[in-house]
A and B are shown apart, each in its own frame.
Chain A
Amino acid sequence: MNIWIYILRRTLYIIPILVGVTFLIFVLFHLVAGDPTYLLLGKHASVSQMEALRTELGLDRPWFVQYWDVLKSSFTFDFGRSWASKQNILDMVKQGAIPSLTLTLPAFIIGLFLSIAISLFVSFHRGKPIDRVVVFITVALMSFPSLAYILFGQYFFGYKWGLFEISGYEFGFPYFIPYVILPGMIWVAVSLGPDVRFFRTLMLDEIYQDYVRTARSKGMTERAVLFKHVLKNAMIPIITHVMNQIPFLFLGSLLLESFFGIPGLGSLILEALNNNDFPTIKAMAVLIAVIYTFFNLVMDILYTVVDPRVRLG
């Protein structure tokens, strides 16, 4: 199939996905969540004030009219304003996505390259002391809760030794860098354990395949064997792993952002849920669905690039 037709077809999938996601969110919100007017008007709210607010928010209209509005805003990306903070939701997302990405993207890329490099190295030395040491370290890294890394890192690197900023964030390059180094290092440390173990297993699955032995017997260098054959053949699960993680990079990291005072998107959904802030919940659900669909499409296309046996269709 022509790649453009495939992309068009997959892009059109977004329509039923958005209809489904918005309907689910709409039903859940109206069934489970309480009346937002109690929260919005505070402790002195009167019945008439709550009724007036319900009318203003359109909550007294028939459900299908309300749902039509939800659907419309999802396709136009006009999410309006947050009920809780009265801020423009798209502005909130834009303002939050940049700090989130400045933290998560470099940390993710560094973590990914490090874990692939380490896993290639240890799979090459499988069974030797270095392999055992790395496995031990990765298990140890995985054994600590991420909060422990944060508390430890912030106390020693930030406060005690004064190497990094304890918390805060500055917008603009290069001012943000001092504030994301420590949380970025923690991100890498937290992800290194599971990622190295995962990639090591992938590499080991490949390293004893016949084609590797064939390549070696043909006199290929170890570097060529590892990078041209082993790594390339392990690319399908690596791409799946990476592409599944990318959408979450936009959402930031709740714990890291909250402890390091990074104004990202990490807490936006949680805050919206606590406040029964339906427009923000809806906007975030729609954006996640769109990002997820997009990266799934990219993933499918990348499969065809790394493995000629895979056909789009």
Chain B
Amino acid sequence: MKEKMKKSIPFFTLASSFLLSGAIFFLVSCAKKDKAGEKVLHLPVSAKIKGMDPIYTNDRYSVNAVGRVYEGLLSYHYLKRPFVLEPNLALAMPQVQDGGKTYTFKLRPGVLFHDDKCFPGGKGREMVAQDVVYSFKRTIANPKALGWWVIDGKIAGGNDFREKVAKGKATMESPIEGLKALDRYTVQFKLTEPFPQFLYAFAMTFFFVVPHEAVKHYGEEFINHPVGTGPFTLKEFKRTNRIVLHKNPTFRKKLYPSEGTPEDRKEGLLADAGKQLPLVDKLVIHINVESQPRWLSFQAGKLDLLEIPKDNFDTVVTPSRNLSPKMKKKGIKLHITPALDVTYTAFQHKNKLFSNLKLRRAMSLANDPHISNNLFYSSTALVAQSIIPPGIAGFISGFKNQWVGPDVKRAKKLLAEAGYPGGKGLPVITFDTSASTVSRQIGEFFKKRMDLIGIKVQVITNPWPELQKKIQTAQTMIHSLAWGADYPDAHNFLQLLYGPNKAPGSNGSNYNDPEFNQLFESIRTLHDSPERTKLYEKMYKIAADRLPWIYGVHRQSFIMTQGWLKNFKKMEFEQGTEQYLSIDLEKKKQLQAHF
């Protein structure tokens, strides 16, 4: 019997292996492929998409998802930098009257919502002024809406309407004094006071235009059934896996921009000028949280662009910030773009210890943002000198903050002058940060730097909600955070240090400097002008000199694109930018031979 078993095993193994391999290779061939001749963009996303209801979008990924199907009255010019707002659903920029308190928009006629079963006969109807009013009202009436901060106290009668809705004394049909559809194509906003940054609201996804029919028809499922006016219509939405969008067949006449910088022209970014958007037939968003599969898929030519993962950075980018020859050979291009953000370590100014400016300066000098940049950002970031990032008015190019470290010798001297020679007399300083590995490592590095001048630091990691709670209730001594721009205006950064915005407001460090506050109040009603830029620069210098925070870095994005991807220009506010991208199918065929 034993002999029989011995003989039958190799035959059985061989036969089953043969059958199994055949079955596997047959089944592998079942994977879906793009149709020949179809321009399909394959883009990666590194987080799960929460949903596509504009009023609930505040993370980058959901914002981008919303921007593909919905639109706002205004949008950012795709090529111009610094960022410039231009009409989108609006026919022209608004008429601003009444000393900056009244904004009147004329809407583009003939803009259609996507065909959807929520409309009679399934045909999308025309977008009109009442839709804009309705879309703003959704944020005003809903306590869970995430864009309320933009218009809180700004629209005349808005706060009153919100309170009445909460008490059941008003409905979505009730009027709001400062938000009216004057006729089919005219909408007017009246503000409680002049607010120049109000214009940015119209390019934010919170206020993108939705039809009331879809909200009513889908109810709570509206989050999964977007019906907008945008360049793409949703075909498949698996929030943890993949989003497929098709070119909107009823998209209005919208052309690729014909203006840009000479550099854009040189890069070929104006080659498609005047062409009808969107330029591709289909968009496939691949959601993958882990970096290795994204990296390998890009290398295999299955993704059209990729933000370089930290772990792979040194293998593809040379110290001189060029692509490796191997990547260049594949036709891959590198795009380096500064992000509008700043990382920082904030002092808790309610704690009397940190009213000592010399102590703050000593700690800043003991810190080493250069090594930190190297350790945590592979030297891809720019060391911050103050609060405003490069790329927006108020940032002073070439400005060198004398209190940004490392200078341990000066730090020790200042610490002694502050009354704490060698750290004597100082309590252990707690450093609160979020619970991620990198945040903890950044904390440990800071602790090590402070050790050099005798300051004892204890790193405390917190789950994100706990950290927020501590900051909002002023329970931290120092805490580490980052701030990304909501709109391209220094106002969005400077308000973080404005005294009256103290915790639980956005000024979590509770910095309260009368001179800074006064300057901030003077810029609140100023429109973009050289005068306002001068004031921004003055505040930039004050923030650099008085160190309400220890400044970290301004991060930069390093993106690789395949040689066949056309018109890519990184945009901080990237919602809907896929409409400008295109695929050179011929080149793709040629280059893929090298993969």
Contact = CB atoms under 8 A, between A and B. Distances in A.
Interface of A: 33-36, 38-47, 49, 52-53, 55-56, 81, 84-88, 95-96, 99, 151, 154-155, 158-159, 162-171, 174-175, 177-179, 181, 221-223, 258-263, 267, 271, 274, 276
Interface in B466-517: 466, 468-469, 472, 483, 504-506
Interface in B271-312: 286-290, 292-293, 296-297, 299-300, 302
Contact of A162 (B5, B286, B300, B463): B300
A181 B223 contact: no
Given A36-B465, A84-B50, A221-B1, A261 B241 contact: yes
B465 A261 contact: no
Contacts of B466: 34
Q: Which of A43, A262, A267 has the most CB of B within 10 A?
A: A43
Nearest to B147: A44
Contacts of B32: 170, 175
Given A86-B223, A222-B2, A41 B146 contact: yes
6 contacts: A52-B143, A87-B223, A95-B240, A166-B300, A169-B242, A178-B28
A311 to B, nearest CB: 37
B31 interface: yes
B465 A276 contact: yes
A87 B56 CA distance: 12
Given A34-B466, A85-B51, A166 B56 contact: no
Contacts of A276: 463, 465
Contacts of A40: 144
B464 to A, nearest CB: 6
B220 interface: yes
Interface residues of B, number: 55
Contacts of A271: 48
A214 B495 CA distance: 88
B238 A263 contact: yes
A39 B497 CA distance: 22
A159 B296 contact: yes
Contacts of A49: 143, 148-149
Given A81-B220, A259-B292, 7 more contacts: A34-B469, A53-B144, A87-B223, A181-B24, A221-B1, A258-B289, A260-B293
B28 A163 contact: yes
B28 A181 contact: yes
B239 A85 contact: yes
Contacts of B463: 33-34, 274, 276
B464 A95 contact: no
A157 B51 CA distance: 34
Nearest to A255: B290
Given A52-B166, A177-B30, A261-B288, A86 B56 contact: yes
Interface string B30-48: 1110000000000000001
Contacts of A38: 464-465, 468-469, 472
B240 A96 contact: yes
B451 interface: no
A170 B31 contact: yes
Interface of B: 1-2, 5, 24, 27-32, 48, 50-51, 53, 56, 58, 143-144, 146, 148-149, 152, 166, 220-221, 223-224, 238-242, 286-290, 292-293, 296-297, 299-300, 302, 463-466, 468-469, 472, 483, 504-506
A84 B240 CA distance: 14
Given A39-B468, A42-B146, A43-B506, A87 B296 contact: no
A75 B74 CA distance: 49
A203 to B, nearest CB: 15
Nearest to A99: B241
B286 A261 contact: yes
B431 to A, nearest CB: 19
Contacts of B1: 221-223
A87 B224 contact: yes
Contact of B293 (A81, A166, A175, A221): A166
B290 A258 contact: yes
A86 B51 contact: yes
A175 B504 contact: no
B296 A155 contact: yes
Contacts of B287: 261, 263
Contacts of B288: 167, 261
Nearest to A177: B27
Contacts of A178: 27-31
Contacts of B293: 154, 166-167, 259-261
Contacts of A159: 296, 299-300
A308 B293 CA distance: 51
Nearest to B51: A86
A33 B506 CA distance: 23
A96 B241 CA distance: 10
Contacts of A88: 220-221
Contacts of B50: 84-86
Contacts of B483: 43
Contacts of A154: 292-293, 296
Nearest to A260: B293
Contacts of B166: 52
